[in-house]
A = this chain, B = another copy of it.
Amino acid sequence: MSMERELLLLGLLQQQDMHGYQLHEFIERYMQSCVDLKKSTAYYLLDKLAKEGLILSSEEREGNRPPRQVYKLTPAGQAHFLNLLRQNLATHLPARFPGDIGLAFADSLPLPEIHALLQTRRSALAEALAAAEQTPPHTGSLQLLIEHQIAHLQSELAWLDGVIDRLGHTKPG
């Protein structure tokens, strides 16, 4: 499993014991900006971490709800978490921009069409930025992620505007 997903699950469990459903819900709600983790994948990974001895599960039940597997870090898990964390903090992972591929081939379309298409992209981007800016403030480190997202989207928007601006006065190749 990728080091990010591993770090994510161990990190959340290090803050608080949780069951799979709960973990997935939290990630979807508050961390969709940095990870995308499907429900089945979450369960699968928790199983795996348990088999590796990094977390322990214990069955709990509350009222008449379905029983849940609550996970907690083992000492080995805690140590592993800290190592992953150090590695993650010390590393810069370059981001990829799949949207650039289209730009690389934009010459294949007539200028007015490129312009219209990029305007559509711009709208989507601006909307994402507005959504991020309206996110209510969060506690501690989660707030950091939101601010990062905003800073990034602002930079993207400025860049895209520059591209659109220059579209008009390009010499045909």
Q: Give Cα distance in the complex from A66 to B94, angstroms.
A: 36
Range class of the A interface residue count: 35 or more
Dominant secondary structure of chain A at its interface with chain B: helix
Closest residue on chain B to residue A102 by CB atoms: B88
- Copies in the assembly, this chain: 2
* CB contact between A92 and one of B106, B108, B125, B140 (< 8 Å): that residue: B125
Shortest Cβ gap from A59 to chain B (Å): 27
User: Given A106-B141, A107-B141, A109-B85, do A91 and B99 touch, yes or no (CB 8 Å)?
Assistant: yes
The A1-34 residues at the B interface (CB cut-off 8 A) are: 2, 4, 7-8, 11, 14-15, 31, 33-34
B33 with A120: CB separation less than 8 A: no
The A79-101 residues at the B interface (CB cut-off 8 A) are: 81-82, 85-86, 88-101
Shortest Cβ gap from A167 to chain B (Å): 11
Shortest Cβ gap from A75 to chain B (Å): 14
Neighbouring B residues of A38 by C-beta, 8 Å: none
Give the B-binding residues of A (Cβ under 8 A): 2, 4, 7-8, 11, 14-15, 31, 33-36, 81-82, 85-86, 88-109, 113-114, 117-118, 120-122, 124-125, 128, 140-142, 144-145, 147-149, 151-152, 154-156, 158-159, 163, 173
